[in-house]
Amino acid sequence: MYKNKLNQIKSLLSMEVKLAQMKLEDGITIVEAESFEPDFSIGIVTPDGIVPMPVGEYKTEDGKIVIVEVEGIIKEVKDAEEAPMPEEAPMPEAEVEVEIEAEIQPKRIVESVSKETFFAEIEKLRAEFSAIKSENEDLKAKLELASQNEEGAEAIVMNPENKIEVSGFKFSKNKTKSIQDSVYSKMFN
């Protein structure tokens, strides 16, 4: 317990604490502790950080058994020959690591598929661009040819039949005549 408190004090004082890492028997799960001795804190390394190790017995790759009775604190470390670990005891942190690895795998697949579709779309756009560019060049060539042959081009002339003459404009057709209107009509006509 005193070593654990000393580690906490060192970390609070920002002293450098070197951590040791070991893999569990499954070969995937990595555990980390300052030292693999009793009363030191221990945790499981995940992509999100270090998670305190749950209560249980865990076998490492080098054949040691780590016993955790309080979450995140090593109670005892012993060799595998001293006390064989029961085969039926599930290792919950191994399942967590496997699930994390399973989540990473589909993410990589989705990422590669999205990149493939992205590059396929870019290739389609490049092909369309080159087709439009060649069509544009053809139209420019035709325009130059037409401008050189002015005889083939006819001038646009306005049709004279479309003219409409406006004669006399009335402001109001259906207006009733007043006395003033009748006087004005006699004066100006």
**Residue 73: predicted pLDDT:** 87
End-to-end CA distance of the chain, in Å? 125
3-state DSSP call for residue 17? Answer: coil
CA 135/CA 26 separation, integer angstroms: 63
**Residue 95: predicted pLDDT:** 55
Instruction: Provide the β-strand partners of residue 79.
Output: 64
Q: What is the pLDDT of residues 166-182, one digit of tens each?
A: 666 666 667 788 899 88
Q: Is the CB of residue 87 less than 8 Å from the CB of residue 59?
A: no
